[in-house]
Structure 1
Amino acid sequence: MDSAKIKQIARDCGVDLIGIASRDRIEGLVPEGNPTQIMPHMKSVIVLGYQVLRGALRGIETGSCWNSLGGGSPLGFMSEVTYNFCRHLESAGWECVPLHSQSKNLRKQGVSVAQGKPEPDVIVDMNYLAYAAGLGHLGEGKLFLSPEYGPRQYFMGVVTDLELQPDPLFAGNLCEACGACLKACPARAYDAEKWAEESFPAGLFKWHPVHIESCRICKTGSTGNPYDSAADPNRLGAACGRACVAHLEASGRLKCALKSSFRENE
């Protein structure tokens, strides 16, 4: 199986975005977030992206229907589609470990089973895996942006012993530091004067610090994290996330544009 075949299988299963990261982009990660600790003989990480419908944000945007975000979310079938994708690969003889995003706060909660091994659970940084697989980059508002959908997707990862040709890292810059996400937040949860950063084997993430406690009580569309209730809230439907969607669409920076504008006044 080559990369083209793998991507076709993923699309046939119902995946919207597919990227592949090589082992060398993974090996330097901290042990408690390193897929090689889960599968020492891993060769590749396949990252699968599932779009959140733009219409899922419409009810919040018009202030009429907050639960529209749930109806247009892929969360109800992501695990099943990822399972079916992995089943195809394992039927061909390649082991697959499916992973979803979890709070890093859950790392080091267990007891190491042997000297030199990290405490369970090993929890990957899904945003970094998506970046390492060439699917986009982190914006200044700490929202992962893809060239297809901007911030409108959720990811799952598949660690496998199948060696595949990796995708190139995303070379563009979807986030043009417009500040729309920062300005949209009524709680001023962003610290616009400061930067946070985290270094990874294949790149550096930089973003404006977010006072997450403000996001937890946000009334503009912030919801519990779709992967993990203990993690940071999901801000896609909040004022910051929707401002990002509106700006990226209005500026023509997305590949998958709809026929109508998200906001008429953009």
Structure 2
Amino acid sequence: MNLEERNSREIEEFFKSKGVKVVGFASLENIRNVPKEYPNSILIGIPIEKEALKTIYTNDQSLYVESMKEVAQKLNDIILEGEDYIKNTMNYNALAISRERVAGELKDLASKIPHKTTGTRSGLGWIGRCALLISPEYGAALRLSTLLTDMPIKVGTPIDDSLCEDCTDCQDACPVDAINEVKWNSRREREEYFDAEKCFEFIKKEMKRTNGKSLCAKCGLACPYTKEYLGIETDRNLIKEI
């Protein structure tokens, strides 16, 4: 086992001991605006709890909203622990893209290197029409966090094209037509296949209307890969009955 493989195994075991379900390793070579001192990335993911996801098509999504918050906080804590472990135990440089830093000094960096990018670069998934990372195992149910490092690691094979084929389930589920028929690839800008402003405006209205108990997320739950994770039949009409 070479150095890259040993490092990857050690840090993956560390993260999984903390409750992380997926770990991806990527080279950020040729990605614009990546700091030269951090040529690699480590992505971690935890799926949203199944019963919480199933409330998306109900009048009260508070369980889903709280689950999202809990997983986000857990990921934030773990990615910071990972930074400390790499720096103090493995003796490499590391920078966690934590929530606090994204709100402050790393705001620009986070927008240039979103978690979805490190996800596709690591080969953990691709970007669906809904602009969410689609994992073969969890669909759009994963919440993600990223750490940058100079540690030599065994990187995954990037996914540069959508594997959604002709599926339009997320597009059909969107209540405000924010998703179009254009499929993602690594050369496209998000605006070509997804209207983020239209989506965000609808979510803000839903949050206000329901006093913070609803987000939407219908596109993510409509994905056949998400429904497979939930154990739901992929008939697009069946999901309305949850």
TM-score tier after normalising by the smaller chain length: 0.7 to 0.9
* Amino-acid identity (%): 20
CA contact (8 A) 2:42 2:146 kept: yes
CA RMSD, 1 decimal: 3.7
Q: 2:129 aligns with which of 115, 124, 140?
A: 140
Partner of 1:13: 18
Number of equivalenced pairs: 222
CA contact (8 A) 1:142 1:207 kept: no
The question of 1:2 aligning with 2:7 is answered: yes
CA distance in structure 2 between the aligned counterparts of 1:27 and 1:162, rounded to whole angstroms: 14
CA contact (8 A) 1:220 1:238 kept: no
CA distance in structure 2 between the aligned counterparts of 1:4 and 1:178, rounded to whole angstroms: 35
- 1:133-167: per-residue Cα shift (whole Å, max 9, x none)? 11111112222101121111122111112111112
Q: 2:77 aligns with which of 76, 80, 96?
A: 80
Higher relative contact order (CA 8 A, sep 6+): 2
Equivalences for 1:219-238 in 2 at 5 Å?
237-238=216-217
1:77 aligned counterpart, secondary structure: helix
Structure 2: which 5+ runs fail to align? Answer: 1-5, 209-213
C-alpha change, 1:66 and 1:43, in structure 2 (3 Å) is: same
Q: Which amino acid aligns with 1:75?
A: A
CA contact (8 A) 1:221 1:239 kept: no
CA contact (8 A) 1:90 1:96 kept: yes
Which stretch has the larger CA shift, 156-165 or 82-91? 82-91
Higher helix share: 2
CA distance in structure 1 between the aligned counterparts of 2:108 and 2:197, rounded to whole angstroms: 25
CA distance in structure 2 between the aligned counterparts of 1:259 and 1:243, rounded to whole angstroms: 13
Partner of 2:171: 182
Structure 1: which 5+ runs fail to align? Answer: 111-118, 225-234
Partner of 1:168: 157
Partner of 1:46: 42
Which stretch has the larger CA shift, 156-165 or 211-220? 211-220
CA distance in structure 1 between the aligned counterparts of 2:86 and 2:94, rounded to whole angstroms: 7
CA distance in structure 2 between the aligned counterparts of 1:216 and 1:249, rounded to whole angstroms: 21
CA distance in structure 2 between the aligned counterparts of 1:68 and 1:163, rounded to whole angstroms: 40
CA distance in structure 2 between the aligned counterparts of 1:101 and 1:197, rounded to whole angstroms: 27
CA distance in structure 1 between the aligned counterparts of 2:185 and 2:161, rounded to whole angstroms: 19
* Superposition deviation, residue 261 in structure 1: 5.2
TM-score w.r.t. length of structure 2? 0.74
CA distance in structure 1 between the aligned counterparts of 2:192 and 2:158, rounded to whole angstroms: 23
The question of 1:265 aligning with 2:238 is answered: yes
Q: Which amino acid aligns with 2:9?
A: A
C-alpha change, 1:208 and 1:121, in structure 2 (3 Å) is: closer
Partner of 2:62: 67
TM-score w.r.t. length of structure 1? 0.68
* Superposition deviation, residue 95 in structure 1: 1.9
